[in-house]
Structure 1
Amino acid sequence: MTPVSGHDWRNPSTWHLRTRLVLVAMGLLVAICGAVGVFSYASMDVFLTQQLDKQLASAAHRSSEFGRPESDNPGGRPDPLEARGQGIGTLNARVLNGTVASAGFLAGDASRESLSSADNAVLLALTPNGAPVDRTLSAGDYRLTAVRAPYGDVIVTGLPLAEKQNTLASLVWTLGVVSAGGLVLIGLAGTAVIRRTMKPLEQLSEVATKVSRLPLDAGEVALGVRVPESAAHPGTEVGSVGYALNQMLENVSNALEARQESEMKVRQFVADASHELRTPLTAIRGYTELMRMTEHFTPDGEKSLARVQSQSERMTTLVEDLLLLARLDEGQPLKVTDVDLTQLAIESVSDEKVMAPDRLWQLELSDEPVLVRGDAAQLHQVIANLLSNARKHTAPGTKVVTGVTRSADGSAVVTVTDNGSGIAPEFLGRVFARFARADAARTNPVTEAGTSTTAVATAVAAGASEGTSGLGLSIVQSIVEAHGGAVEVTSRPGRTEFAVRLPAVPPAA
């Protein structure tokens, strides 16, 4: 049997609690009905047997007295069956000297019926001690007793067991029908009662399921789900669980609100700090260019001035990235147009060929244009950042393949694949985190600081260092998600692939 909806009927531990409770109740009821049935059957059997034995003793006494011989002539011995008060089915036999002298029973029409030789053999095997025994004869089952009369004959008397057996069979059928009906009624009533009793637990499960599906990891979250008051009374076991769950949800809601408020303050600080840094950075670049045009420096001075200019440009890029992330976090509207991803890929790869001619840059494009609705500048930055990431983290001679296709489900897919050394497995899970870098030794000191105030200040202050800022892939993820898409990465030694999926414009449009 194949498990359905996570339940394997071969494994009772996976059954619903209400199912197990109903089955346990039914099992107990079956055991009780069985015990009552066995006791009733045994009691009725004893009662009917005692009653039959009394009748048998009375019939045996009548037969013995009526069968007393009037003379020594055996032919003058009366037939015990002719005694008064003998009922239909009564069996009588006279045994003389180990031989059945006469035997028969009263048929339904009060006529005498003889016994077979096999029946005679059964009668001869009886011990004449007056103890009743059950035997099966050709006429049916009988309760027999053999008594040695004072005149020396053995008188055998028997009564049919059919009436007793019919009574016991009727009792069994009655108990069976009543028990089955009771089981059905108790099963239905028990299922309804248990289902009603378990309803609060189902409500708790629904609340927990709803909470588990909420995006609690980031952004503003309205945690308004609560257990109903009817299932949150502390006076009962289930109510205590519901009450505790509501208290926990209230605490989580307060924590989420505090986290959201803190995040908003940090984002506002990042935006304000980045905006304020643009003016002095522009001034530094301007004065640096002016000094290079108007002043004469020694070779060492020229190097130092060039260093100041390059690092001011690097810090300007970092500030622009921080501003872009702040705008994306605030959810500012996009400048949506029809964008041809094929053309963006061609332009981006052409730029990288100029910057890094020592890599092997290849394109794998669809025959038809792949259009999406989005911000052209931001989507261009997505592809450029992925190509820049491949360039910065691979050795010369690495092959980098950029692909643009339309998937079977109609989505637009942009892939950037290289045959470099790959990404370390322990770093793969946080490759899209802000300020996260796989090799801190060749970049600035900020390795993974999130978006805290200290991280922003350290990242900006470290602008004079070489390497990447650790924001490129984070910007890729934020832009793609703002466009309703997703980005994922797979990596192993010799092959690393970043895949971006975006909702595509239908080809007919």
Structure 2
Amino acid sequence: MFTALLLLALVTVGSLALTLLRQSLLAEIDGQLTGAAQSLVEQSWQGSLSDHDDPTNPLVPSEYAVLIATIDGSVVVEDVATAGRPAVGSLAITDVERRGSQPFTTGSAAGDTRWRAVVAPLTSADGRIIGTAAVALPLTSVDATMRRMVGALMAVSGGVLLVAGVATYAVVRRSLQPLRRMETTAAAIAAGDMSQRVTDPPPPSTEVGSLAASINTMLGDLEEAFDAQRASEERMQRFVGDASHELRTPLATVAGYTELYRMGGIPDAELPGVMGRIEDSATRMSSLVVELLTLARLDQGAPLRIEPVPLAPVLESAAADLRALDPTRTVQVHLEPGAAVAVDRAAFQQVLTNLVGNAAAYSPAGTPVELVAGLLPGGLVRLEVRDHGPGVPAADRERIFERFARLDAGRSRDAGGSGLGLSIVRSSVVAMGGTVVCDDTPDGGATFRVELPAA
């Protein structure tokens, strides 16, 4: 397309240049012809045309062709150039006056030479028309100049087109390199390598550079999405495996005791204890299923009913439950007056129950527990549940929020924990627009710090 436009421009400019050059050359010749014709008219006034047969006194310079005729057009003087005789037509006075004094182009009476000619009436000194004259110059030099100009323009245009073609090819080839890199990147991604990116992209201000930047952004998003999907699948596989393992133990207990009872292998004296263990296993399975359903609802993004919840009654209720569970504990509540959170009441109650239960399960009996809440800048409320047990190692403070995560698996099972409590805490807090972390208690122990939007 660019080459075609360049060719059109060269043809247009060349045609204009040739036209202007031809007009300039013809204007120069026309001036010479007009001057020569005026010279003949002046000679006719002076009566000196009779000397035309004197070779030392030509009518006009030798390169001109001169024809002088009577009024009726009969040629009486013919002083032609070496290029031949121009075909000027009738020189009768009526034809000359009709034609006027404007120069014109004509051919040769014999041959292919082109001429530029002008005709004029001749008058005597007293103003009488005594004849007509035609003066002509051959256009050989003009035609030769035009041919040289055409050749030069063709050579220059050809060179320009060649250079432009090579430059266009180089520019297009260079501009297509990012597209070829994009093609290579796309092929690598199609083969499964999601880490590929378009390398060395042009500046984003160009169309190709903008496309490369958009593709790299899209590829980054795709890689993150695939990584998230892969991580989710891995977590789901671990979750299913852990859930199966957790359910297998109580199911095996129930099935084993049932089979043993059916076979008559349980004495009547041991039957109450066996039934108690079956009931414990059923309770454990029921609790596990409830927690799994809770996590499933949170994973699916089930809508929450966010409402203002005052902290004072909720924390006092949790403290009372913990005192009832372990009367030897000192449970203190430190609450900033009027503090309230914008949460789902049921989900928040579950979070607090799990954190308090975790403090009771993993700190020695009789050790104190503090429930602390206060306002933070930025419209947040901080809630802390502090125990004074063994604490959580720094390396495990994120892992404990994973599903079925245990720092001491045997102790957790004996205590009846499923390993899902803290996972439910984090999922619920995040769903309500908050954060939860585990830290050290200053005097030893674990502190779970929750930040939620203030009401």
Under a length normalisation based on structure 1, what TM-score does the superposition of the two structures give?
Answer: 0.41
| Greater Cα radius of gyration, structure 1 or 2 | 2
Under a length normalisation based on structure 2, what TM-score does the superposition of the two structures give?
Answer: 0.45
